[in-house]
Amino acid sequence: MNFTLRNRIAAFNSLATAILILILFFTIYLVIDGFVYEKIDDELKEESLEFLADYNVVDGKFIFKHPFSWAAGGHGNVEVNPIFVQVMDTSGSIIQKTSNLLQESLVYLDTTKIEIFFSSNLNGKPIRQYQTRIITHDKKYIGTILLAIPLKEATLVLQNLLMVLVVSYPIFLIALFIISRSIAGKTIEPINKVITIAEKITKENLSERIPLPKHNDEIYLLCKKINELLSRLEEALLREKQFTADASHELRTPLSVIQGTLEVLIRKPRPQEQYIAKVSDVIKETKRMSDLIDQFLFLSRHENSSVKVFMQPVNSKELFDNLEARYTDLLKAKNLTLEKVIEEGISVKAEPAMLTIMLENLLSNAIKYSNSGGRIYLSVKRVDKNIRLQIKDTGLGLEEGQLKNIFNRFFRVEESRNSSPGGIGLGLSIVKKLAELQKISILVDSKMNEGTTFTLIIP
């Protein structure tokens, strides 16, 4: 039999129930065994009271009022339910015994206990004995009386009970396993449906989802989590496809420009000025393609969040002064004004090279998407226990629906795809990844035709 989940559930359930049933059967047997012996002991004690009421003591000797009962009384009827009686003196010698004992005698225990119940054998057969001291009214010990009754019927009852329990136990276990297996099959039926549907889901139809069961239980939660996983896989696959398509497009564009330019150059001789202009275009596109490949490689290297980052204090004023110096020409070319507001003596804890790349990308975007004559604001301020860095422009701005996608690779607003600023849509992806590696939070606020503000919160 294949040890499937269904069989395992049935087996574990049967094992647990089997242990409980075994304990229950054992308890039942002990209770009935105790009950049977308790009834026999009560009967023996009652008989002893009858005998003790049938004697007198004369000169320290026993004299029974009705001695005939020892020979022919009800106690001598062996066939019905014989009671064996034996009287001992204080020295342990037999004074009197019932005739049904014949040549046998009951076991006498030399003990100081007033009374005691115990099991023994008479002529090789099990009996139950009761031994009690005979005490006179003046508290004087004058002898011991022993009574016994055969245990044949009690033993037979207990043996039959034990046999019933032993025989019924495996039968019960087999029936229990079959029933448990059937119940387990119905229990995991929704899982089988999940498996059937999951087998149909492939790379081509990741949009398929598993129907949620009616009951809000563990299987419902499992189906829900699987659907969430499928959604993430579908989203990741779509991003992969989009990334591949965009990367191919971005690489094809400069290659097409280079190929077209070179083809034009070889068609016929041209003036030197035209050669210089065309070769400059080829160099520009080559640099664009090189930058694109560099950014691909950068993202690939830093894809793993376990990359070691060496944090150290960075002087914020120095950082922004160097940034301004590198972008002075671009700012002048677009007639943009850069305003800096930096609190004195503030150092931020970051990885210098990574923080520089982040700020360069953000400032580059601010310059690209700002209108001529606009303003860009750089500020560093301490807020509570954190340092807040802001880069704000007065450029094109973004719609609210676009903000959630700006950190996705190759994302560019439609208006900017064919605009002069250009760009390949990887800058903000790099900023986001570097921020995650340094535990830096990024906030974005933007309004159409009013500008965009990027805020870095550095612990």
Strands (E), 89-178: 94-97, 115-122, 125-135, 141-150
Domain spanning 218-301: CATH 1.10.287.130: yes
How confident is the model over 6-28, as pLDDT tens digits? 777 778 888 888 888 889 888 98
Residue 121 DSSP SS3:
strand
Query: Above 50 in pLDDT, residue 109?
Result: yes
Quick one: 312-458 is in which CATH superfamily? Histidine kinase-like ATPase, C-terminal domain (3.30.565.10)
How confident is the model over 416-436, as pLDDT tens digits? 433 444 555 677 877 888 888
- Tell me, what's the pLDDT at 417? 36
What are the residue ranges spanned by the domains of the chain?
Answer: 5-159, 218-301, 312-458
Query: Above 50 in pLDDT, residue 243?
Result: yes
pLDDT, greater one: 79 or 270:
270
The hierarchical CATH code for the domain 5-159 is: 3.30.450
- Tell me, what's the pLDDT at 344? 81
How confident is the model over 275-289, as pLDDT tens digits? 788 788 788 778 767
How confident is the model over 306-349, as pLDDT tens digits? 567 788 888 888 888 888 888 888 888 888 888 888 888 788 88
How confident is the model over 251-270, as pLDDT tens digits? 676 777 778 778 877 887 87
- Tell me, what's the pLDDT at 351? 85
- Tell me, what's the pLDDT at 117? 92
pTM of the model: 0.45
- Tell me, what's the pLDDT at 70? 52
Query: Above 70 in pLDDT, residue 295?
Result: no
Q: Which two tokens stand for residue 292?
A: 């694109």
Query: Above 70 in pLDDT, residue 73?
Result: no
Query: Above 60 in pLDDT, residue 305?
Result: no
One DSSP character per residue, 267-334 reads: HS---HHHHHHHHHHHHHHHHHHHHHHHHHHHHHHT-STT-----EEEEHHHHHHHHHHHTHHHHHHT
